[in-house]
Amino acid sequence: MEERILEFWENENIYEKTQNLRSRSSETFTWLEGPPTANNIPHAGHALTRALKDAMLRYHTMKGEYVIPRIGGWDCHGLPVELEIEKKMGFNSKSDIEEYGIKEFNQLCRDSVLKYTDDWVEMSKRIGFWLDLENSYVTMTDNYIESVWWSLKTLYDKGLIYKGTRVAPYCPRCGTTLSSHELAQGYKDVKDPAIFIKFKSLDFEDVNYLAWTTTPWTLLANVMLTVNPDITYVIVEFKEEKYLLAESLVNKALKPGKKDKQPKILQTFKGSELEGKKYEPLFPFFKDIGGNAYQVTLADYVTLEDGSGIVHSAPAFGADDAETGNRYGAPVLQPVDLEGKFTDDVPPLAGMRVKDADKKIVKMLKEDNKLYRSEVYEHSYPHCWRCDTPLLYYGTESWFVGMKRLRENLISNNEEIFWQPPYIKNGRFGNFIEGAVDWNLSRSRYWGTPLPVWLCNECDKIDFIGSKQDLVEKVDELPKEFELHRPWVDDVTWSCNCGGTFVRENYVIDTWYDSGAAPFAQYHYPFENKEEFEKDFPYNFITEAIDQTRGWFYSLLSISTALFDKTSFTSVLCMNHVLAEDGSKMSKSKGNAIAPSELFDTVGADAMRWYLCSTPAWNPMRFGKNLVADAQRRVLNTLWNVYSFFVTNSNVDNYDPDERLPIEKRSEIDRWIISRLQGVISNVKEGMEKITFHTCIKTLDYFIIEELSNWYVRRSRRRFYGSELTQDKRSGYDTLYEILTTISKLIAPLIPFLAEELYQNLEHRLDPSSLMSVHMHLFPIENADLIDHTLEDKMATALAITNAARTARAEAGIKARQPLSELVINLHDDKTKIPNELIEVIKKEINVKAVLFVSTDEGFVDYKVQPLLKELAPKVRGAIKTIKPYLESLSRNKAKETVKAIKKTGKVNMTIDDVEWEFTASEILVHALPIDGYIMGDSKGVEVFLKTAITKELQLEGLARGIVRHIQENRKSLNLDYLDRINVSISSQSEIIKNAIQKYRNYIKEETQADTLKMTMQKGAIEQTIDGNEVALLVEPVQI
């Protein structure tokens, strides 16, 4: 069916026609595609984003809005792409790339980024995502890059872009620095050596400063020991040695054993008194560095949380250390190269990767008696978000965007955004922008938007370029095959007035800036489409995964704030990650990853979309074939069965929907379902507006299964039997037709294929002049005049009673077809009245002979009482040992009295072992259990009790119903319609089966549309078991 619908949409250009129905003169709904990189096949998480985006766009189109720009986008630059090529080519370093050739390497990158676009296009098409992918924006085109250059030049002119040397997170594998939002995406819990080191004091005789670190490799660059000026420090004597450390950490750091003499305090200082004190270098490699090296410094960031209260400081490897070093004029030691290896300045470690050198460094310290102790410390440590390499903090020269200056603007603009879920706004995202730091923009890489900065090699004058035309004006003419990528831009130079030459800074920019510039760069703004962009900006809606709070969402807001001082989007949905069916992370290596294409031909795109929309998008979602198939079976098949029921019967009666009965002339159950439909329309519309697709699904799920199928159709089925088109039957047809045609439009944004199928068969086929597709219609609007709250409340009570009784039967293992003698309904008050006609409906639905109403459960339940240990134990302490068994062994009457007191006053007084106790309702757990001979159930405040005794009379009726079910199953296996007349033969040695047939012969024939029912053995009869009784059953169609 779905493939046929896809073909229909394509052949008839339905997408284009829906767009053409709206126009620029209509109200617009703007949205922005978060651009994926098409260098891998799409996975289940991408199916989620595609489904939710499409649902949103279809809904707003059906609201009559013009959705723009309804195009895709491809993110093409950056480390992810480069690493993929490096892996393919077997490259291990940047030198391998440069030896191969930047031009050739970048061409491989270019070829790879759109390698899987066909897979992405096919997945998007198959899941029903209506999007113009032929005209997608592509971040590697010259037009796009030129817009990015314009934005950078604008920020530079505003004084927001500058060059500086800072300690920044650095990936030695990729050979480049990272920004703060990239850093935030790559933390992992790791186990590192944590060591306490002895630094010999030059001011206190025979005293060692005791410092602590989890990065032993940074000790080679140590030039300071830093203390907190307000913390109290002490010199202690322990095991014949003297140590200086924070007073409150003495025992935690020194760890004296049970047999050890406790550390003895010899002297006490405030941290501020230690400023300027000197110590001996830990290693000899830089002992003659001079300057203000190897002294005690002060900083507020030193805490008492871990370690010794003394922090070893290496300005080359820490932002805080660098800031402190700057204040004290400390030298910067850099014994590590850009590949993360020790240099020849430290001969014993030369050529070793820093993390690999930790063990050797610890060994060196131990041999020199400078190690106090070591342990394994588990902590969160940043890793490269793309290649997984542990990052170093490394002092490098970079270009920055001054986001710190714009913190208040970011916070203010964030207030203009509607976040779903709301707690992200001032939580995960809000906290991040409150701590915004300057954006480390430049990357020492190859495949990316080149940083458009040229520096004079003589006078350091800066020329910031903002367009391709700017370059032309510098050099008169660009090469014929020139493009805005390396190495072409690297080769462009021009003369400076000083006699020097302007040479480009060999950086590309952070790829997150590329995607964050999409709002304007996709328009080639401001060079083209200026008016169009400014009219549509900011965008009404974006959505991507939760990790984009540190990625795309942040770069979008940062760039739009810096350029325009406004947000670039006004509403955003944060999606969580898709997990395997068992709740574990999906991965190819585990074999539990599912490609969306695997499910399209089995359960279908609609079932997948329905399931993906059924859970709050911001919660982790389990995904698998069984879960999607369950959604298909429960809801979509149920709706299809209702549709099939209508079509089958209406075709027999040649029903014409053009002349319908007024609502007021229809039966009560028709008016009820029409009233309920108005509430469903309202709730679905509210869910779509609030971007809570799961509430839409919940509303539709309950309406389709419980109210439409299990109640309305079930209660109305007999109206459609019989040969005449009576007014009651027409009322049913009119109502069911209106329900189904309205549902087709309600579900259209969520499950577009089934919606189209229903619409084509129910409306367009009957009226070819109607709109060609359901998706061209406007979204339904509720009609308040059709709402009858009194009728709804009455029917809701009947439904609740029915559901409670069905649940009780299921839990007790009593089949629905087995009649029972009595249903007791506790409505908890004397005011609620159930009309007689509904009582009859309830009796039929629950399959009981009598209904009794009560206002209390007294006489139908016994109680079991238990203490709520979490609440009660702290209050009664040791007495819980006697209170618990006392409460759990209360007699039947005493338990009733206890519950009665709690219900009346909220508390109960008891004497236990001569001690008076008062227990409140929050401290007591009450279990209500049905008395013998009854089962109980509850639903929406209604409590029911079913009498379980089954008389012989009830047993016979139950068997008759069982016979009906088996006959109907045989009818189904013969592919007979339920209206087709049949002949039935049944034989059995069981007397009780014979008695049931004899007593209920007419009932069985009427229910099964049987012309004859013979109790004889016939050739071809099928052996079956009905409630433990063997029978032979033959069903044959009546030959006309």
Report whether the peptide linkage leading into residue 69 is cis, meaning its omega lies within 30 degrees of zero. Answer: yes
* Residue type, position 13, single letter: N
* Secondary structure (3-state) at 768: coil
DSSP 278: B
903 is catalytic: no
Torsion angle (degrees, nearest 10) of CA 497, 499, 504, 505: -100
How many angstroms separate the CA atoms of 796 and 792, rounded? 6
- Please say if 843 is a catalytic residue: no
Known catalytic residue at 447: no
In contact, 382 and 169? CB cutoff 8 Å: yes
**Direct distance between the N- and C-terminal alpha carbons of the chain, in angstroms, rounded to an integer:** 33
CA dihedral 589, 594, 597, 602 (to 10 degrees): 130
Q: Of the listed 130, 149, 512, 711, which one is catalytic?
A: 512
User: Among the options 295, 522, 548, 678, which is catalytic?
Assistant: 548
- On whether the CB atoms of residues 267 and 235 are closer than 8 A, the answer is yes
Mapped onto helix, strand or coil, the DSSP state of residue 287 is: coil
Number of helices and strands (H, E) in the chain? 37, 40
588 is catalytic: yes
In contact, 91 and 461? CB cutoff 8 Å: no
- Which of 9, 31, 35, 670 is catalytic? The answer is 35
Active site includes 866?
Answer: no
Taking the CA atoms of the chain, what radius of gyration do you get in angstroms? 38
Residue 262 DSSP SS3: coil
Residue 629's closest CA among 678, 680, 679, 581?
581
Report the distance separating Cα 190 and Cα 262, nearest Å.
Answer: 33
Task: Tokens for 374, please give them.
Answer: 């070591």
Burial 688-706 (b: 16+ CB within 10 A, else e): beebbbbbbbebbbbbbbe
3-state secondary structure of 1010: strand
- Considering the candidates 480, 588, 870, 881, report the single residue annotated as catalytic: 588
Among candidate residues 188, 535, 585, 833, the one labeled active-site is 585
Choosing from 31, 69, 74, 75, which is the catalytic residue?
A: 75
**Residue 130 in contact with residue 53, Cβ under 8 Å?**
no
In contact, 117 and 140? CB cutoff 8 Å: no
Distances from the Cα of 538 to the Cα of 36, 403, 550, 568, angstroms:
21, 20, 20, 5
The token pair at 680 is: 């469903």
Structure tokens given for 395: 């002092």
Residue 177 DSSP symbol: E
Query: CB neighbours (10 Å) of residue 600?
Result: 19
The pair of three-digit structure tokens given for residue 736, joined into one six-digit string: 């069911």
User: What is the Cα–Cα distance from 272 to 302, expressed in whole angstroms?
Assistant: 12
- Distances from the Cα of 900 to the Cα of 398, 861, 863, 904, angstroms: 75, 12, 10, 6
The Cα 973–Cα 303 span in angstroms is 76
How far is the C-alpha of 785 from the C-alpha of 844, rounded, in Å? 31
To 10 degrees, what angle do helices 693-702 and 605-613 make?
110
Enter the tokens of residue 64. Answer: 């009559």
Beta bridge partners of 270: 232
Active site residue 968: no
Of 9, 74, 120, 552, the active-site residue reads 552
* Residue 610 annotated as catalytic: no
Cα 1015 to its chain centre, rounded Å, is 60
Non-local CB neighbours of 898 within 8 Å, separated by 6+ positions? 863, 865, 890, 908, 910, 924
C-alpha count within 13 angstroms, C-beta hemisphere, residue 191: 3
The answer to whether the beta carbons of residues 215 and 192 sit under 8 Å apart is yes
H or E stretch including 925? strand 924-930
3-class DSSP state of 771? coil
* Active site amino acids: 35, 75, 512, 548, 552, 585, 588
